[in-house]
Amino acid sequence: MIESVILFLLGSFIGYISPKLPVLMITRAKGFNYHFSHHPEPISLSPYLTQRLLHMRTFYWLGLGFALIPIAAGYASLVWGSAPFGFGMWLSSGWSVINRLQTFIGGTPPPWTYEMAIRLQLVMNKSKQNPCCDFPEPEWQLTAVRCSSCNITLDEMPRPDLGRKRSDGIFAGSIRLLASDGYPIVSEQSEE
């Protein structure tokens, strides 16, 4: 009985972490973070940031492909191997796929979207055309996009995880990312 529970939990963990591997591993590489300040410093708005958002969006959806591996392995294990282990992998990965696909029927959008990249580009363009101060330097802080020179809020968009190597270490940073799934720590203010 205990062995079955341990195998189920191990399979569930593998199925849970597999769809998140692209965001966990690829984006933390040193060469991938060359143009960005260290975590948790604000990030200056630039084409590199827009590109990063689009990369994170791609890696988020790439997780669906990574989820198919434990779904298939879990099914094979259900049929020919250890049923608790296979059921854990199949259940956890299947749930991750359903969670990501529910976006298309009105669920929570992904943490990184194309619209978010467009909003940041519009803020960059506006800060050049209609500057808020003499030396505008828009940067994406934790809770909003603000000018670092005059501290005026340019957009109330909170910053999601952007794949930078975290200051709290690989293990703690990975746990935090697994828990938040990349979503911002704070939510965007409603316009009511």
pLDDT digits (tens, 9 = 90+) for 119-147: 999 999 998 888 888 888 999 998 999 99
> How far, in Å, CA of 51 to CA of 46, rounded?
9
pLDDT digits (tens, 9 = 90+) for 70-107: 999 999 998 998 999 999 999 999 999 998 899 888 88
CB 75, CB 90: distance < 8 Å: yes
> How far, in Å, CA of 145 to CA of 138, rounded?
7
- State the distance between the two ends of the chain, measured CA to CA, in whole angstroms: 53
Residue 174: exposed, middle, or buried by beta-carbon count in 10 A (0-12, 13-18, 19+)?
Answer: middle
- C-alpha of 87 from chain center: 26
Per-residue confidence at 16, pLDDT binned at 50, 70, 90? very high
* b/e per residue 73-103 (b: at least 16 CB within 10 A): bbbebbeeebbbbbbbbbbbbbebeeebeee
> Residue 192 has what pLDDT?
45
Angle at 60 between CA 72 and CA 22, to 5 degrees: 70
Q: Where are the domains of the chain?
A: 2-180
pLDDT digits (tens, 9 = 90+) for 143-180: 999 998 888 999 999 999 888 877 787 788 788 888 88
